[in-house]
Amino acid sequence: MPRTSTVGTAADVDAVTDAVLTASRLLVAVSARSISASGDVVSLPQFRLLVVLHTRGPLKHAMLAEYLGVNPSTATRMVDRLIAVGMVHRRHNPASRREIVLDLTAEGTRLVRQVTARRRKEIAKIVAKMPENARGGLVEVLAAFAEAGGEPSAGTTLDAIWS
């Protein structure tokens, strides 16, 4: 049950944090089900790596690790596993042949689109059950939350093909 509090107080931050944690459990469950429906080819952290490459384009290892919030050796192990299953490939950076960048394969792109389409359908069913007057506020709040966390909008050009 949500706590009531005054806006701007520590209690308000706690109440919002509790609400986001609760919602995140639901969203993680939706994501896990969507990934699982694709045959458990990748784990949730590996799927996150694929999404980062999908939304941000080809990246160097260090930048990918930074976006994922992991150390470079962890990112490298994840990338190696995804290369082995045909989801990611390493290639020379067209702008500088000395640099190696990581990019999605066609299969990696297909998986991201497929999983995201499933997730979108399930989230749409949940949103449809919400009171209509709560939806508009949710859009504004979640957009601000995603922006504060540095997550690109699902409406960006690279993500538009997910719908």
What the block records as the tokens of 56 is 């941000």
Domains and CATH numbers, the chain: 10-160 (1.10.10.10)
Please state the φ and ψ torsions of residue 66, each to the nearest 5 degrees.
-65, -45
Predicted local distance difference test score (pLDDT) of residue 157: 41
- pLDDT, averaged per 10 consecutive residues of the chain (163 residues), comes to 56 85 91 89 93 94 95 95 96 84 96 94 94 85 86 60 35
Predicted local distance difference test score (pLDDT) of residue 1: 46
**CA nearest 119: which of 24, 20, 27, 21?**
27
Distance CA 135, CA 128 (A): 9
Predicted local distance difference test score (pLDDT) of residue 102: 96
pTM for the full model?
0.77
Predicted local distance difference test score (pLDDT) of residue 162: 36
